[in-house]
Amino acid sequence: MSDDYRSMWADLGLDLAAHDMLLGVLGEAYGKMYLTQANRPAGMSYFDFVMSEVHGLRIKELIDEKKAGRKIIGSYCVFVPEEIVLAANATLVGLCSGADFAMEEVERLLPRNTCALIKSAFGFKLGKVCPYLESADMIVGENTCDGKKKAYESLAQLVDNLYVMDLPQVKSDKGRDLLKAEYQRFQKAVEELTGSPITVASLQQAIRTVNAKRAAIHRLSTLRKADPAPISGMDALLVNQVFFYDNPARFTDAVNKICDELEQRMKAKSGVFPTKNPRVIVAGCPQAVPNWKLPMLVETAGAVIVGEESCVGERGTRNLTDEAGNSVDELLDNIVDRYFQIDCAIFTPNRDRLHHILEMIEKYQADGVIHYGLQFCQPYLMEALPIEKVLAEKGVPCLRIETDYSMEDIGQLKTRIEAFVEQLS
């Protein structure tokens, strides 16, 4: 890392020693888990570069944007509409929540029995190691699960720029009205922050930009239907993770480039795993960078992940936003329609999610499903049981995992996952 970055991190108020340690661990984990994969698509080198510069060059870009008068907005959830952020001349970034950090300090503010993702978000703040969080002009929290909802009350004591968005929990007309009202309130807040009122043209352009990014991911997902799998689940997850950090247009190009390459692979019938290899869908909680624990175990056990039914995956990227509309209000309605379809487990009932899992099994010719639940994440852990039951009735093997970011259960997880892969073989 260059000295420029060090002074940049220091200016952001990062704890340089702790941050060095984090980058050291991250780099080592990435090297071991990612760079050792066989026959990776050449296009992944872009994502390797992005990861190597995830706290470096990308942060510098954000700082440069800030210097040019643009605002940075950080979010923890796929319900925060990037279209609105872009249309008001701001940049949206996902905030760090995929690794344990400063746990002792975190447990002074949150109960031990809080999910790893929430604890991690606090750990990155308290440990002063997330440059995204520190560069953000606005941090958006959202009332999804009870854990996050209450945690934001405490996070508000640690930062002075937290904005909390309310979210419906039922897919009713009233629920939709609430989402629309909240997106309108968010629009005003963002406009106030940036001083750039959203226009029909700017919102339409933003919708196009975000749609292009999603369409590229859809293209990548479609290619994963192929047997042999042209890309590993590890790499596809990484692409889905970088979705939250990168410049949207550049990201779209990089994903499309990799898709061109994968199409060539498919023509040549080449892939990263042999044909007829066990194929798995991972469903459940989001896996934020650098939470690669489960996919690493699955793919080293010999199965290939062909789809993520997750916020970092299809739940987050499914459906495009309709670009047609003559007023900001009409376009906002299109945005609401798109986001209101997200099948997050905070909704009750949440039948769409089961349908989507079944659809994905069919579409990607999966042999089994691994339900990934973060410990103490009630919404997803509770949904896992009826999902497992329906899958059993349909004869689809399902392995229900409940874990966190620690490595203490790795031995048992390895045995369970390997046995599951044996079961699919």
Partner 1 sequence: MLSAGIDIGSRTIECVVIEDGAIREIRQAPTTFDPRGQIENVLAGVSFDRIMATGYGRNLFEVAYDAKTVTEIKAYGRGARHLFPEATTILDIGGQDSKCIILGPGGKVQRFEMNDRCAAGTGKFLEVMAEALNFSLEEFGPSALKAGKVLTINAMCTVFAESEVTSLISRGENREDIALGLHLAVVKRAAGMIRRLWPGGPIFFAGGVARNSCIQHLLEKDLQVPVIVPDNPQMVGALGAALLLEEGA
One symbol per residue from 126 to 165: x for binding partner 1 (CB under 8 A), - otherwise; what is it?
----------------------------------------
| Sign of CA pseudo-dihedral 263, 268, 273, 279 | positive
CB of 419 to partner 1, least distance (A): 4
Interface with partner 1 by CB under 8 A: which range of 43-51, 180-188, 193-201, 415-423?
415-423
Nearest distance from C-beta of residue 402 to partner 1, angstroms: 6
In the complex with partner 1, the residue whose CB is nearer, 365 or 423, is 423
How many residues in the shown chain lie near partner 1 by CB under 8 A? 16
- Region of 75-83, 220-228, 236-244, 394-402 interacting with partner 1 (CB under 8 A): 394-402
Quote the least distance from Cβ 408 to partner 1, whole Å.
Answer: 6
Residue 302 near partner 1 by CB under 8 A: no
Residue with smaller CB distance to partner 1, 249 or 419 = 419
Please name every residue paired with 368 in a beta bridge, in sequence order, or none if there are none.
Answer: 280
100 lines the binding site for partner 1 (CB under 8 A): no
- Taking CB under 8 A as the binding criterion, the range among 130-138, 233-241, 267-275, 409-417 that sits at the site for partner 1 is 409-417
How far apart are alpha carbons 312 and 85 in whole angstroms?
19
Residue 403, interface with partner 1 (CB under 8 A)? yes
Q: How far is the CB of 137 from partner 1 (least distance, A)?
A: 41
Residue 408 binds to partner 1 (criterion: CB under 8 A): yes
- Convert residues 334-373 into a mask of x (bound to partner 1 by CB under 8 A) and - (unbound): ----------------------------------------
Q: Say whether residue 409 binds partner 1 (CB under 8 A).
A: yes
Contact flag: residue 411 with partner 1 (CB under 8 A): yes
**Pick 362 or 408: Cβ nearer partner 1:** 408
Stretch that binds partner 1, among 59-67, 133-141, 207-215, 398-406 (CB under 8 A): 398-406
Residue 416 as a binder of partner 1 (CB under 8 A): the answer is yes
Q: Does 402 bind partner 1 (CB under 8 A)?
A: yes
Binding site for partner 1 (CB under 8 A): 392, 397, 401-403, 408-409, 411-413, 415-416, 418-419, 422-423
